[in-house]
Homo-oligomer: A and B are copies of this chain.
Amino acid sequence: MSDVHTPKRGRPGYDQRAILAIAVTAFNEFGYDATSMGVLATRLSLSKAAIYHHFSSKDEVLQLALDEALNGLEGVLRESGAVTGSAIDRLAYVLRGAVLVLADRLPYVTLLLRVRGNTEVERDALTRRRAFDRAVSTLVVEARDEGSLRSDIDPRVVTRLLFGMVNSIAEWYRAEGPEDAAHLADDVLAVALDGLRRR
């Protein structure tokens, strides 16, 4: 499978991470099912054997790609800002963190948002994604119970609208650096918590 026309010497040395990044872009562009290991090999100018050196299967590529997104989101829940302080502050911290992870790991989160549960790897990812959603939902309920959030909207609807707003960012955001992402997170919190109306 090796291509004698491609000089080995001048070719960038792909490690697992670099292959993953290119694989995720291909999954998002063509769909996971339509992206074979052969397609990936062509994109990377690598042999399939070289890819199998780093990944045991296409499923493992998917799993590691989804891990990038999920580990990022789950990591936010473990940070001190997510576990100390008032519920509304913890909610704000987690929403901000979710926007920052989305902006920082955009293709991985985009892939995660498209997962429909067709394979075991996808179902595991969905389970973890739902656990993250539930953690946010719990914060919404706690913030309402402590009296800092309005109580006239069903917390389930609130959580869904919040994720609707946050997740939609994946459809139009193009990375322009961490400052830009932080600004975007400010905007999301401003709209979600305080609303658009001028006071």
Please give the residue numbers on chain A whose beta carbons come within 8 Å of chain B beta carbons, in ascending order.
88, 143, 147-154, 157-158, 160-161, 163-169, 171-172, 184, 187-188, 190-198
Contacts of A148 in B (CB 8 A): 197-198
**Interchain nearest-CB distance for A176 vs B (Å):** 13
**Interchain nearest-CB distance for A146 vs B (Å):** 10
> Which single member of B147, B150, B171 contacts A196 (CB below 8 Å)?
B150
> Which single member of B163, B168, B197 contacts A160 (CB below 8 Å)?
B168
Contacts of A165 in B (CB 8 A): 161, 164-165, 168
Number of copies: 2
> Which single member of B164, B166, B194 contacts A197 (CB below 8 Å)?
B194
Contacts of A172 in B (CB 8 A): 160
A195 contacts B198, C-beta separation under 8 Å: no
Contacts of A197 in B (CB 8 A): 88, 148-150, 193-194
**Interchain nearest-CB distance for A122 vs B (Å):** 17
A193 contacts B190, C-beta separation under 8 Å: no
Contacts of A191 in B (CB 8 A): 153, 158, 161, 192, 195
B187 contacts A150, C-beta separation under 8 Å: no
Cβ-closest 3 pairs across A and B = A164-B168, A195-B195, A194-B195
Specify which of A147, A149, A164 lies most central, judged by the most chain B CB atoms within 10 Å of its CB: A164
**Interchain nearest-CB distance for A191 vs B (Å):** 5
Q: Could you jot down 22 A-B contacts, CB within 8 Å?
A: A148-B197, A148-B198, A151-B198, A153-B187, A153-B190, A154-B187, A157-B184, A157-B187, A158-B187, A158-B196, A160-B169, A160-B172, A161-B165, A161-B191, A164-B165, A164-B167, A164-B168, A164-B169, A164-B171, A191-B192, A191-B195, A193-B195
A168 to B80, CA, bound (A): 30
A147 to B88, CA, bound (A): 28
A111 to B149, CA, bound (A): 34
